[in-house]
Structure 1
């Protein structure tokens, strides 16, 4: 795979080529962990609700934009210009920052509500919150790694 990555670093892949090159291999895991975060946060009680709104905004926004980004790359609409490589870098950098902020806020709220885990329902919600935090941090890591590889690809143009 390293040879394949080096071969495609100077241009942006299109079609199913996005399934074989870095950083594009991260698209599907980003979608999966993003939707898991989205579903888990939606199924629990996060107080204050403003934090729930931010976490939901980040996970839905990044899911939709990553899906749009995949469609652009698969369809070949990016035409191998360095402008698309810079946009890819910018989007994934912003997504990593957004996910980091929402992950930290979600972790803080989860830790602060540990005392409510005394009842069986409270323990169930606490475990769901912990799972959401873990998946959110994994999504953050995936977007961050994607940002690094996008920066390398952008620099090679």
Structure 2
């Protein structure tokens, strides 16, 4: 195996990151995750532990997705073949985390709706919808990253 073949990465770099699939999904992950973060931060807190987990996941995934997007645009994935494994691992973990967030947010929103405690439960409904959309996008990206990882090995 030559050293040139060892340094190639199936993950694109530069501006191609924003035009190639599945990397273009990172923009949707960024948007949906940011919306979950903003919507949950603007709601009333009846379950502080639940809101803490939702905020942790949304902020963590927002920051890491942004960091990965910047790193991929800079081309750091060309220095090592381990970046495809990092991509798979991160998107799988993010999908599982967001699934837990979406279910938790849906449960809390249902509770708020039944008790009619919060007047702004529509914001919680929007956060739930965007959490499920973020889960879907992260899951699709994880599956496509797994396929890319398997085909490159």
Q: Could you list the structure 1 runs, at least 4 aligned residues long, displaced by more than 3 angstroms after superposition.
A: none
1:69-125, Cα deviation, whole Å (9 max, x unpaired): 00110000111643100110000000000000011011101101113437xxx33x1
TM-score by length of 2: 0.89
Whole-angstrom distance in 2 between the partners of 1:110 and 1:46:
11
Q: Secondary structure at the match of 2:44?
A: coil
* Structure 1 unaligned spans of 5+: 1-9
Compute the RMSD of aligned alpha carbons: 1.4
Q: Report the alpha carbon displacement of residue 23 of structure 1 after superposing the two structures with TM.
A: 1.0
Paired positions, count? 144
State the partner residue of 2:48.
Answer: 49
Q: What residue in structure 1 maps to residue 66 of structure 2?
A: 67
